[in-house]
Structure 1
Amino acid sequence: MTTDDYMSDPTSFPAVRAEHPLDYWISPELARVSPPTAPSRLRQLADAQGTLAAAWSSAIGSGPLLLLAGGFGSALSGDPAWVLILGLLGAALTALGLVSWKRVRSTLPNTDRILIARGPGSARGGVTMVSVLALILAGILATALPGTASRGTAALLALGGAYVLFLALLAALILVPSVVLGRARRSFRRRVQTDPGLRAAVEGDLAVWRDPHGNAAYGPL
């Protein structure tokens, strides 16, 4: 099958891939003429890696959130233990997330394990979900606002601070991972082109991989 044949029918993948180098399979032009849902080994690798990276991105974002929550708790209670304990936990979580993030993005994922992402898979979906949840909570808190206001300024500040923390939690657990997932394939392509170690791993996989269930091709991405 020639490249022209493929371009005329993107769902028909060639059974023999040895004649095509990695640059052919990762080319943006090939991806543009292929349906986004068409399966390929490269897409499987990119999506699995993106799912793992999205999970660790939540850890990275949750670290500063713990520090913020600790500071908020200390400000309300006057006890510095909150910010010290949660700050240390947040720093450890962020450090673990950063190390794991870099490791995940520089190696090929184990695609034998089934990875399920239960959140939105795009930035638009993440923004939509966060906005809906934020509005729901705002409506609930609005019903408590009169009673809270009667208890003074401190109670209002506590309520407002809790709402801000909730928004930050939504951003760390939903919005940031959804952005990572939405950019997984483009990010994978860019790193294959710029990271010699990752490129070597993908080329090694290309040399030995065969579709165990049919005739799926190695790309597009």
Structure 2
Amino acid sequence: MTSPSPGPRPFPVAGPLHPLDYWLSPELARISPSGAPSRLRQLADAQGSRAAAWSSAVSGGILMVLTGVFFSAITGNLVVTLTLGPLGAALTILGLFSWNRVRASLPDTNRLLISRGPGSVRSALWTVALIAAVQGAIMATVMPGATARGGIAVITLAGCYVLMVALLVVCILIPSAVISRARQSFRQKVQEDPAFRKAVEEDLATWQDPYGNAGYGPL
């Protein structure tokens, strides 16, 4: 009597070719083209884009509070502060909570988050400076009339200009700064947070490129 033949054996799952520290190496990142795709770069860039959005929310909330205080001081009416103050505080608290949550977990790379803006801090600075210069030129044309109306008009005009420049910083410069440091921040997070490192190591053990043969790193 012959025994039944065993069923097909499951295909063995190969482990990662290199440990995480190999892929995290700054030296490996330096010798690799910055545009070369990798899983670590995908994770870092996705996390950086989300962190940039919430960083802008935090600073935007603070700016709302300052705007309310400024216009209340100019008009002597606390309604502006009582309106913008709580909204700004709520936005700041929500932004801080969400920023910490984004930084503490691996992003869902299946959900596409498109960020439009300057690709570097230098480009962001030039963009802010150019728009601020245009706004300043427009303000300069109405400054003589404000001067004729007295000091309060001048302070109001100058304050509005400062707030507009601050808004440019919130919307353009801060997100660009966060995104430009996304990969460095990701590496630092892995090195300093054991729970986050464990999550990345688990991802390394199971991830396979669904479209080609991209490596897990470099970062």
For 1:83 and 1:187, locate their aligned partners in 2 and report how far apart those are by CA, in whole Å.
35
Tell me the equivalent position of 1:56.
Answer: 54
Unaligned runs of 5+ in 1: 1-15
Q: How does 1:87-166 map to 2 (within 5 A)?
A: 87-166=85-164
Question: Which of residues 190, 193, 205 in structure 1 aligns to 2:191?
Answer: 193
Tell me the equivalent position of 1:85.
Answer: 83
Q: Percent identity?
A: 59
1:184 aligns with 2:182: yes
Conserved in 2, the CA contact under 8 Å of 1:17 and 1:217?
A: no
The normalised TM-score by structure 1 is 0.90
Q: CA deviation at 1:19?
A: 2.5
Q: CA deviation at 1:144?
A: 1.3
The normalised TM-score by structure 2 is 0.91
Higher Cα radius of gyration: 2
Q: CA deviation at 1:177?
A: 0.9
Displacement over 4 Å in runs of 4+: none
What's the Cα RMSD here?
1.2
For 2:15 and 2:22, locate their aligned partners in 1 and report how far apart those are by CA, in whole Å.
10
* Structure 2 counterpart SS, 1:214: coil
Q: How does 1:38-77 map to 2 (within 5 A)?
A: 38-77=36-75
Q: CA deviation at 1:40?
A: 0.4
**Count of residues in correspondence between the two structures:** 206
Q: CA deviation at 1:67?
A: 0.9
For 1:120 and 1:108, locate their aligned partners in 2 and report how far apart those are by CA, in whole Å.
25
Conserved in 1, the CA contact under 8 Å of 2:15 and 2:205?
A: no
Which residue identity does 2:173 align to in structure 1? L
For 2:73 and 2:151, locate their aligned partners in 1 and report how far apart those are by CA, in whole Å.
14
For 2:181 and 2:49, locate their aligned partners in 1 and report how far apart those are by CA, in whole Å.
11
